[in-house]
Amino acid sequence: MFAAVLNAQDVIYLNNGNVVKGKVVKNTDEVSVVVKSGETLTYRKAEVREVQIGSSEVKTPKEPKGKYVDYSDLDKGWWCAVEAQAAGLWYDDDHAMGAFALTFTNGYRFSEYLKIGVGIGARYNLNRDNDYALYRQLHKIQAPMCIPLFVNVRGNIISQRSRMCVPFWNADIGYAILDNFFFDAGIGFRVGAKRNNFVMSANFMGQVINYEPNDTDFGSGILFKIGYEF
């Protein structure tokens, strides 16, 4: 039997990717093969992809048409984020205004420490002045609805390669259609995998406020962001 195995010309391809060479002695509901060591190995038909009788040449898999890329592990490349925002601004000594926004940002990731993108969103401005009707007669604050267009930069403060939660910094500068110029900058936490994260941050925000006639003021306050980045 051992001499027959030395001259074996059979190959078994298993579904788990392994290849067994030897002499096939059974090929029914089970496949049994005697390998070079003299041991008999038996596999259920469900474990076997192909039995090749009479040739010891192992067929290698075909070269894939496209190169596989593990996107989740890339240090560079495209990224995007969807975020909900809430802000409280104070201006003109004793006046305040709230704002709620939903933004979408996409751009290029140079490394986990630096990402640059451009964004667009929709913002609703909510005036919180106690005498709202009278104030509206005296001033034209920005439109209740506006469309922010902005540039965003962000990056990790420490590496996320071996951590699920890391601090990060972020900043925006832009102009809101039907509104005016704004900026914000702050720090927060990123929770998740290397390229798929929940993000939350607290930022200082500055906003140019429109007045009538052709007058402006500057409002500043706190902006909170929460969203998902990938």
Judged against a pLDDT cut of 70, whether residue 90 lies above it is answered with yes
**Structural class in CATH, domain 76-229:** mainly beta
* Mean pLDDT computed over 83-89: 95
Q: Is the pTM of this model over 0.85?
A: no
From residue 110, alpha-carbon distances to 117, 145, 154, 196, 213 in Å are 11, 34, 11, 16, 45
Judged against a pLDDT cut of 80, whether residue 1 lies above it is answered with no
Domain boundaries, the chain: 2-52, 76-229
In this chain, the answer to whether the domains covering 2-52 and 76-229 adopt an identical fold is no
The pLDDT confidence band at residue 133, using thresholds 50, 70 and 90, is: very low
| Nearest partner of 105 among 179, 35, 191, 171, judged by Cα | 171
pLDDT (tens digit, 9 = 90+) per residue, 31-47? 999 988 889 999 998 88
* Mean pLDDT computed over 124-149: 64
Classify domain 2-52 by CATH number. 2.30.30.100
